């Protein structure tokens, strides 16, 4: 790291420390169950935080559900074990665990390697290689300093297990991603979409992962909120409206650049990235193009934002390609969202493991006449010959006829049954090739998935918006939050606790709330202190009712803007309309 980069990282690390303190003091977020010592990886969003998070979720819903014409669902957070057998989470959703033999502290082995060696992506290494690196670098336990050189690294499944109902006969898991709640309902959701591809289903909700070492406040927790879109497409026919995002400028960090010694980020546009093959899938490119301006609109600093492609060893078990949206925090890049091409992985798995159909019927423009190979076995032969296995033999013959007609060309056909091979006379199989007219075919849609972490975005918005300056010789801290997501849009203060001023202020609060603005009323302490309080929680405007308001014939109030601290006098009659226009982005404060 260069000297300048190190200084920048130190400064933002200091910001993180101050931010976490401010978050607790002002009610953004704090560790849960503090009265009982707190639990690692669980956070409560206080009044300001819950409001900011809710506004971010609403903004996401507006862009990714409403504006894109997608559906939204709300599925349970506990799902039965077979769902996760099918999805692959039971077998493959693991992190690398290393336990200290001296003090018993658990650590993520890949993080230990990344934090203490030059390896940047240890997560993509196989376990034996991670064990070798730990031994080679003589890494030690971060808690007690004991050597970990010969300690085995284990695969630790991140799902929280539970039992559904009394007893343990019906195991279940807290969902590790909201996505499975959408996939398992595909047979019904496709009906709501009138069996027409493409269509998208969104869900905003909690996900749970029993992280080995939760860290950095709400960046890595054990319970967090995801906003996910599962977009179902016909891979042969559907194309995104790439034109609409072609000019969006992006900073990309493709896998090829990460693998190259002098590789670097690339400044380009979505259109060019697709035509030059940097982003391989057009649907992924489309959603990156939608996401970039949206992140900008909710307050992510675009100079501290990029899209990074996953390296091949880093991808989740279901993903064919994946790009992360990353934000810079404390000199590190953190993943805020993943944009994965999941192919037909999930729907095929649920079709295989469940009793339902996870395909969609695709109607041809014109009916097609096709040749189909069929069998109609002679059961009076198969029954005595195979007994209880006769039906399994029929299934084998059907599969073989569909797959390999040539196998039926001789006098006998060979099939495998429970590891044993059997010969059957072709004459007893009823094999025939028939012409059939078909109106369409059943296809398994492919899935493109933009998956956003809400908590990490909230943290980024606060971190990127954190400011310190000096006003009238006094140090001030303020949060430069976008009006669309700020917990409170306007604070209203009577200058003094004078009955007349208070009555005016109450009326203004009621008017502004009627106009749908979120308003806070504050009459405690001097006016400077009240401004500072609102600055610290990121309230974009404050309205002060003073003696001019009640004495002049035209009733006016002072409106103060948070970032510049500029003040203007506005007519009370126009106040709600003007502030609503500013909130909607139709007018700027400077123009008043
Ligand atoms: N359905 C795909 C999926 O879950 P992911 O990359 O594992 O993909 C998506 O998670 C997003 O969820 C991440 O980009 C991140 O923002 C958020 N996330 C994942 N694990 C998290 C954790 N332990 N704490 C907070 N946010 C987390």
Instruction: Give residue-wise pLDDT tens across range 454-465.
Output: 999 999 999 999
The answer, yes or no, to whether any atom of ligand 1 lies below 6 A from the CB of 229, is no
Atom of ligand 1 nearest to the CA of 226: 12
* Per-residue pLDDT, 592: 84
- 502 with 408, same domain: the answer is no
Which residue lies with its CA nearest to atom 4 of ligand 1? Answer: 177
Tell me which of 45, 451, 459 to substitute to probe ligand 1's pocket, judged by most ligand atoms within 8 Å of the beta carbon: 451
The answer, yes or no, to whether any atom of ligand 1 lies below 6 A from the CB of 177, is yes
Which residue lies with its CA nearest to atom 21 of ligand 1? Answer: 220
Task: Tell whether the model's pLDDT for residue 15 goes beyond 90.
Answer: no
Task: Tell whether the model's pLDDT for residue 467 goes beyond 80.
Answer: yes
The answer, yes or no, to whether any atom of ligand 1 lies below 6 A from the CB of 424, is no
- 424 with 522, same domain: the answer is no
| Residue 52 burial (C-beta neighbours within 10 Å; 0-12, 13-18, 19+) | buried
The answer, yes or no, to whether any atom of ligand 1 lies below 6 A from the CB of 224, is yes
The answer, yes or no, to whether any atom of ligand 1 lies below 6 A from the CB of 220, is yes
Contacts of 433 (CB under 8 A, 6+ apart): 371, 372, 373, 374, 405
Average pLDDT of the chain is 93
CATH number at residue 565: 3.40.50.800
Please tell me the least confidently modeled range out of 67-76, 224-233, 310-319, 526-535: 310-319
DSSP states of 428-475 as a string? Answer: GTT-EEEEEEEEEEEE--EEEEEEEEHHHHHHHHHHHHEEEEEETTEE
Which residue lies with its CA nearest to atom 17 of ligand 1? Answer: 453
Q: Which residue range is the domain that position 561 belongs to?
A: 475-591
The answer, yes or no, to whether any atom of ligand 1 lies below 6 A from the CB of 110, is no
Q: Average pLDDT of 522-530?
A: 93
* Per-residue pLDDT, 223: 98
Which residue lies with its CA nearest to atom 14 of ligand 1? Answer: 337
Task: Tell whether the model's pLDDT for residue 3 goes beyond 70.
Answer: no
586 located within any domain: yes
322 located within any domain: no
The answer, yes or no, to whether any atom of ligand 1 lies below 6 A from the CB of 336, is yes
Atom of ligand 1 nearest to the CA of 454: 16
* Per-residue pLDDT, 13: 59
- 498 with 554, same domain: the answer is yes
569 located within any domain: yes
* Per-residue pLDDT, 555: 85
395 located within any domain: yes
Instruction: Provide the domain count of the chain.
Output: 2
* Per-residue pLDDT, 553: 72
373 located within any domain: no
pLDDT digits over 381-420, tens only?
999 999 999 999 999 999 899 889 999 999 999 998 888 8
Question: Considering 437, 467, 502, which residue would you say is the last residue of a domain?
Answer: 437
* Distance (Å) from CA 197 to ligand 1 centroid: 27
Of 359, 555, 329, 330, nearest to 444 (Cα)? 359
* Distance (Å) from CA 308 to ligand 1 centroid: 15
| Percentage of residues in the chain having pLDDT higher than 90 | 86
Atom of ligand 1 nearest to the CA of 178: 1
pLDDT digits over 336-349, tens only?
999 999 999 999 99
* CB-CB neighbours of 408 under 10 Å: 18
pLDDT digits over 100-145, tens only?
999 999 999 999 999 999 988 898 889 999 999 999 999 999 999 9
* Distance (Å) from CA 100 to ligand 1 centroid: 27
Strands 490-494 and 519-521: parallel
The answer, yes or no, to whether any atom of ligand 1 lies below 6 A from the CB of 483, is no
* Per-residue pLDDT, 10: 52
- 480 with 585, same domain: the answer is yes
547 located within any domain: yes
d(C-alpha 530, C-alpha 223), whole Å: 35
- 407 with 498, same domain: the answer is no
Q: Average pLDDT of 170-182?
A: 98
* Distance (Å) from CA 12 to ligand 1 centroid: 23
Task: Tell whether the model's pLDDT for residue 14 goes beyond 80.
Answer: no
pLDDT band for 2, please (50, 70, 90 cuts): very low
The answer, yes or no, to whether any atom of ligand 1 lies below 6 A from the CB of 338, is yes
pLDDT digits over 53-64, tens only?
999 999 999 999
The answer, yes or no, to whether any atom of ligand 1 lies below 6 A from the CB of 560, is no
pLDDT digits over 192-241, tens only?
999 999 999 999 999 999 999 898 899 999 999 999 999 999 999 999 99
The residue with tokens 């009138």 is 194
* Per-residue pLDDT, 97: 96
490 neighbors 517 (Cβ within 8 angstroms): yes
- 423 with 497, same domain: the answer is no
539 located within any domain: yes
- 416 with 492, same domain: the answer is no
Residue 99, H or E segment: strand 94-99
* Distance (Å) from CA 226 to ligand 1 centroid: 7
535 located within any domain: yes
Strands 199-208 and 71-72: parallel
* Per-residue pLDDT, 375: 95
Task: Tell whether the model's pLDDT for residue 289 goes beyond 60.
Answer: yes
The answer, yes or no, to whether any atom of ligand 1 lies below 6 A from the CB of 240, is no
Of 283, 87, 74, nearest to 180 (Cα)? 87
The answer, yes or no, to whether any atom of ligand 1 lies below 6 A from the CB of 179, is yes
Residue 506, H or E segment: helix 499-514
* Per-residue pLDDT, 1: 42
Of 150, 147, 156, 154, nearest to 103 (Cα)? 147
Atom of ligand 1 nearest to the CA of 209: 23
Task: Tell whether the model's pLDDT for residue 497 goes beyond 90.
Answer: no
- 489 with 587, same domain: the answer is yes
Q: What are the Cα distances from residue 7, in Å, to 4, 62, 326, 330, 474?
A: 5, 39, 21, 10, 25
pLDDT digits over 298-337, tens only?
999 999 999 999 988 788 777 778 999 999 998 999 999 9
* Distance (Å) from CA 335 to ligand 1 centroid: 8
- 432 with 479, same domain: the answer is no
- 404 with 504, same domain: the answer is no
* Distance (Å) from CA 196 to ligand 1 centroid: 30
Task: Tell whether the model's pLDDT for residue 162 goes beyond 60.
Answer: yes
């Amino acid at each position: 790291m260069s000297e300048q980069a190190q200084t920048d990282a130190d400064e933002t690390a200091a910001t993180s420390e101050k931010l976490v303190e401010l978050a607790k003091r002002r009610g953004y977020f704090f560790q849960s169950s503090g009265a009982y010592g707190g639990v690692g990886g669980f956070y409560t969003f206080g009044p300001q935080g819950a409001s900011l998070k809710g506004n971010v979720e609403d903004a996401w819903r507006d862009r990714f559900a409403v504006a894109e014409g997608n559906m939204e669902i709300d599925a349970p957070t506990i799902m039965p074990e077979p769902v996760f057998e099918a999805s692959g989470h039971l077998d493959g959703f693991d992190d690398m665990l290393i336990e200290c033999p001296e003090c018993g502290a658990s650590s993520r082995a890949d993080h230990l390697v990344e934090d203490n060696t030059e390896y940047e992506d240890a997560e993509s290494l196989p376990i034996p290689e991670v064990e070798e690196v730990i031994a080679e670098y003589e890494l030690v336990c971060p808690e007690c300093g004991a050597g970990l050189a010969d300690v085995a690294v284990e695969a630790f499944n991140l799902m929280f297990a539970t039992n559904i109902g009394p007893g343990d006969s019906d195991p279940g898991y807290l969902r590790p991603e909201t996505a499975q709640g959408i996939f398992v309902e595909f047979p019904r959701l496709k009906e709501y979409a009138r069996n027409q591809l493409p269509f998208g289903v969104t869900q905003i909700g909690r996900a749970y992962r029993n992280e080995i070492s939760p860290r950095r406040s709400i960046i890595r927790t054990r319970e967090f909120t995801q906003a996910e879109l599962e977009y179902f497409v016909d891979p042969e026919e559907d194309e995104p409206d790439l034109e609409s995002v072609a000019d969006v400028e992006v900073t990309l960090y493709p896998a090829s650049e990460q693998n190259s010694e002098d590789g670097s980020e690339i400044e380009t546009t979505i259109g060019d990235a697709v035509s030059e093959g940097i982003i391989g899938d057009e649907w992924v490119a489309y959603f990156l193009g939608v996401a970039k301006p949206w992140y900008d609109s909710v307050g992510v600093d675009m100079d501290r934002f990029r899209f990074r492609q996953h390296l091949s060893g880093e991808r989740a078990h279901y993903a064919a390609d994946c790009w992360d949206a990353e934000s810079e925090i404390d000199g590190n890049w953190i993943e805020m969202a993943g944009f994965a091409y999941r192919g037909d992985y999930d729907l095929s798995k649920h079709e295989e493991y469940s009793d339902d159909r996870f395909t969609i019927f695709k109607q041809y423009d014109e009916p097609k006449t096709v040749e189909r190979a069929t069998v109609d076995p002679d059961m009076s032969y198969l029954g005595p010959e195979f007994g209880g296995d006769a039906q399994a033999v029929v299934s084998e013959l059907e599969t073989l006829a569909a797959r390999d007609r040539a196998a039926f060309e001789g006098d006998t056909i060979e099939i495998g049954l429970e590891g044993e091979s059997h010969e059957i006379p072709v004459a007893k199989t009823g094999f025939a090739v028939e012409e059939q007219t078909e109106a369409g075919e059943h296809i398994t849609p492919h899935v493109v998935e933009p998956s956003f972490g809400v908590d990490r975005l909230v943290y980024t918005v606060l971190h990127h918006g954190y400011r310190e300056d000096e006003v009238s010789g006094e140090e001030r801290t303020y949060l430069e939050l976008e009006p669309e997501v700020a917990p409170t849009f306007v604070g209203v203060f009577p200058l003094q606790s004078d009955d007349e001023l208070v009555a005016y202020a109450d009326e203004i609060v009621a008017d502004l709330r009627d106009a749908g603005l979120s308003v806070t009323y504050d009459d405690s302490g001097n006016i400077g202190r009240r401004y500072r309080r609102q600055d610290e929680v990121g309230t974009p405007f404050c309205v002060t009712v003073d003696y001019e308001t009640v004495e002049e014939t035209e009733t006016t109030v002072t409106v103060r803007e948070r970032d510049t601290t500029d003040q203007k006098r506005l007519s009370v009659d126009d106040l709600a309309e003007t502030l609503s226009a500013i909130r909607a982005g139709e007018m700027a404060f400077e123009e008043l």
